[in-house]
Chain A
Amino acid sequence: MSAPAGPMTEHVQGMTIQRSRLQGRDGDLLTVNFGPQHPSTHGVLRLIVDLEGEVIRGLKPVIGYLHTGIEKQMEALRWQQAVVLTDRHDYLSPPINNLAYALAVEKLLGVEAPPRAQVLRVIMSELTRLSSHVVWLGTSSLELGAMSAFMYGFREREKVMDLNEEISGFRMHTSYIRPGGVFADATPRFLEMLDAFIREMPRNVDEYENLLTRNPIWIARTKDIGHLTPEDAIRLAASGPMLRGSGINWDLRKDRPYSGYEKYDWEVAVENGCDCYARYLVRIREMRESVKILRQALDSLPPGPVNIDDRKILPPPREELETSMEAVIHHFKLATEGYSLPPGDVYVAVESGRGENGCYIVSDGTHKPRRAKFRSASFVNIQALEQLALGSMVADLIAVIGTADAVLGDVDR
């Protein structure tokens, strides 16, 4: 079969792909399409891979299969309504996304959440990080053939979901952290459950490590795979475990602390391996550090209110509505119009399980955002895939995608 000269144009699923006729050592490269429905691409990621034998010579990620229009939708909602959308872009760490948005709104309003709310925010963030990491552990080890870690990981995720349900009434998309504070105070049962969870979690992390850390198959599949030098990590603006797995000590919780993270005693997990195994180790160590932060936060939970006392931003408590006309007016104004933010723009970043999840909001002085942008860690980290996978074997691509831990909802927003 003679190949046509010049660039090759394919039409796949309503998309035109231009491929240069690259020449490999033994003739033409083979172009293979992965996804968007593929069990090992962590969602609806699509990759167009040029293969020479089994070696990857070209890689083109195609994203947008989960583009949800969240940023446009936020412009159509009021400031306080938009919280529910922040849950749904990075669906493995909803409270952390809530936190980024809430902090941005609060920064522009010039208010700060009360101390108890700040500690509750830290607790929810760290619980979310744990649940996000165990889901990562389960899915990416499943992709590399280790079924048991999936079962172990989802066992712990259920405990975090139970905690979420206890404190917010919902398993996944809690919308718990809102501008001005949090949805509700922690119940006594929540604190008991959290205490029990903190006690047993280190043992569970030991179990994951027993399964994987010295497992020869796991090491063979991840060690020296997906090399990312520190220079490249900064050049490509990788964040989270991708950055720290390349030996760069940068964690927003330490370096730009928010919500009182500076008060806790913990260490940033940094590994110098620059490979998939290093990223795995970073996540495992982060789980242990999260448990440490959770323990300190639970022990230092101060008494007091969980919301700011500002009737212009948060509605009055239900019982006041029956006795106070002023409360009714405030409630009516908030329910029909919402609050407006002073004109300006602000960027706030928080550390999610995947890296820097930032929220950039622009207000034009009205009660709806002029623009809301999420700087999502997955979108930027997945940009580095080409750097990570070129020259490696096609089977290693799965390990690379797995340890990049992209959530496609976060990539496409």
Chain B
Amino acid sequence: MSQQIPPAAVLAEGMIAGDHWIQVQPEQIRATLSRLQAEGFTYFLFLTCVDHLATPLLQQPPQRFELVYQLRDLKQRREIRVRVFLPEERPEIASVQDIFAAANWDERETWDMFGIEFEGHPNLERILMPEDWIGHPLRRDFPVGGEPVDFSEDHETWQTAPPQA
């Protein structure tokens, strides 16, 4: 597989539970995705973000935010996952909605939920939350919210992220 992807851009590559993935530099995301599209990965499945704040993993992820792009080749029936790591301060990346039109709403959702900025997105505004909402709910330091429940394991059930030191 690796010869099909621009070799300079790929930082790491692997398989996990049968899923093929590559990791690229954030600056290379547009080049990588257009190259993959030309190679037959024409179907954009989803784009999302993973917040690695205070991860218990032994092998620490390089940055706090991990963007995941999942693409599919309908003809050869294969999939690929492209990973990009973004820093905690001002996470931003180039928009790919002109390469994959289906990424438009996914980018808006990722902005809404994680506060990742997509440069060059024509309409980067909140999609799920009300427009006057403050904060990005799916970040791990955003509380789950709701109301306290008596006699429940509050400390375990409602605390997503450990308290900030």
| Chain A contact residues, CB within 8 Å of chain B | 14-16, 63-64, 67, 69, 71-73, 75-77, 107-108, 110, 234-237, 248, 250, 255-256, 343-347, 349, 356, 358, 360, 362, 364-366, 370-371, 373, 375, 379-380, 383, 412-413
Contact = CB atoms under 8 A, between A and B. Distances in A.
Contacts of B126: 64
B17 A364 contact: no
Given A72-B144, A346-B17, A383-B105, A360 B48 contact: yes
B131 interface: yes
Nearest to A249: B74
Contacts of B92: none
A76 B146 CA distance: 12
Nearest to B46: A375
Contacts of B45: 237, 347, 349, 356, 358, 375
Nearest to B79: A347
B34 interface: no
Top-4 shortest CB links A-B: A237-B102, A64-B128, A375-B46, A67-B128
A14 B17 contact: no
A234 B105 contact: no
A369 to B, nearest CB: 10
A364 B16 contact: no
A107 B130 contact: no
A76 B79 CA distance: 30
B43 A345 contact: no
Given A360-B48, A373-B46, A375-B45, A15 B130 contact: yes
B3 interface: no
Contact of B16 (A64, A71, A77, A346): A346
Contacts of B140: 75
Interface stretch (B5-13, B22-30, B50-58): B50-58
A235 B158 CA distance: 40
Interface of B: 16-19, 42-46, 48, 50-52, 55-57, 68, 70, 74, 77, 79, 81, 100-102, 104-105, 113, 126-132, 137-138, 140, 142, 144-145, 157-160
Given A255-B77, A347-B70, A347-B81, A362 B130 contact: no
Contact of B48 (A248, A255, A364, A373): A373
A14 B129 CA distance: 11
B101 A14 contact: no
Given A64-B127, A365-B57, A412-B128, A235 B68 contact: no
A347 B56 CA distance: 22
A362 B66 CA distance: 11
Given A107-B17, A345-B16, A383-B104, A234 B74 contact: yes
Contacts of B51: 371
Given A236-B102, A362-B50, A347 B19 contact: yes
A70 to B, nearest CB: 11
A67 B129 contact: yes
A383 B17 contact: no
A67 B81 CA distance: 27
A15 B131 contact: yes
B68 A345 contact: yes
A72 B138 contact: yes
19 contacts: A64-B127, A64-B128, A64-B129, A69-B144, A72-B138, A72-B160, A107-B17, A234-B74, A235-B100, A236-B102, A344-B16, A344-B17, A345-B16, A356-B45, A364-B52, A364-B57, A373-B46, A379-B105, A413-B128
A77 B158 CA distance: 8
A235 B142 CA distance: 34
B130 A64 contact: yes
Nearest to B145: A69
B50 A371 contact: yes
Given A75-B140, A234-B74, 13 more contacts: A69-B137, A69-B145, A73-B144, A107-B17, A237-B44, A237-B45, A237-B102, A255-B74, A347-B45, A362-B50, A371-B48, A371-B51, A371-B138
A332 to B, nearest CB: 15
Nearest to A248: B74
Contacts of A347: 19, 45, 70, 79, 81
